[in-house]
Amino acid sequence: MTGGERLSKLLAAAGIGSRRAVDALIAAGRVSVDGRPAVLGERVDPARVQISVDGRPVELVPAAPVYLALHKPPGVTATVRDRFAARTVLDLVPPALAAGRRLFPVGRLDRDSEGLLLLTNDGAWAERVLHPRFGVEREYAVAVERRLGPAELERLRVGVPLAEGLARAVRIRPATPAETRRLLRLVGPGPGATEGGTWYRVVLGSGWKRQLRRMFAAVGVPVRRLVRVRMGPLELGNLPPGAVRALRAAEVAALATGSATTAGRTGRPQPTGSAAATDRARRAPSGGVPSPAWTPPRRVPPRRAGRSSSPKG
């Protein structure tokens, strides 16, 4: 039908998943409209049709939004359902925080990886966090068995061809000793903490399946341990493994608008969190609200007396 609303938008608003995740469900034949398989791009009138996912009717009334940050431990599957998984991330969410809503992970974090993972029932918000055009970076602490050489670092920066396209590190640098100490105090010892291992901080602008592990494998340096420490402006901080907390309204808004990066083009660490806010305020125009787009006005030299500004003729 030409009228109505896009089916994927309705399902995302109902908390089934992000728009891209819903499109994948439709393409897999798991969504039906009045008993027939739905098609990509279909528009429906929600008042006139019955929509089902995996044979179960969907209530299209938008649920109250829930936004959570979780520290995923290794060995836990970041998925809504997996009959082969001993535990999924949803098993870690206390019922009081889930509030009876249908939650799903925002993006990927493979079973062996750990760190910051977002959960929500707001498909539109999840789409803004995930889509590369909104510029929400992902930062990881990556442990490898040895220090990378200049050629290997350059290859990761320039890009490694994967099935999805060219995968490149937006920034990559050795982790500082202080960063590594803080991280290991939080996540505990593991295979990445053995003697001779080296930790790097890597920033990505996309989140393909096992992307970093595949990138490092392509340059001949397998990943020992991988911890996501940041998504956009939101950092893992001191959230213990397995713990969950609700996001504050300011954090939800900051993630939805796309984040400014927290490191400069040189890869040197820059202020984050409250320190970043202080730094932005210091650099903003006096008496005004800090603006990420603000730049100092161009200095115009004073006009010398007796010199005409008209063109020579």
Please state, in angstroms and rounded to a whole number, the distance separating the CA atoms of residues 89 and 183: 21
Annotation marks residue 82 as catalytic: no
Beta bridge partners of 6: 43
- 3-state secondary structure (DSSP) of residue 276: helix
DSSP 1-49: --SSEEHHHHHHHTTS--HHHHHHHHHTT-EEETTEE--TT-EE-TTT-
- Active-site annotation holder among 110, 112, 122, 279: 110
Find all residues with CB under 8 Å of 95, minimum gap 6, and list them. Answer: none
- 3-state secondary structure (DSSP) of residue 104: strand
Among 207, 201, 180, CA closest to 270:
201
Tokens of 154: 């350059």
Q: SS3 string of 171-215?
A: EEEECCHHHHHHHHHHHCCCHHHCCCCEEEEEEECCCCCCHHHHH
Among 215, 216, 253, 220, CA closest to 234:
253
Catalytically annotated residues = 110
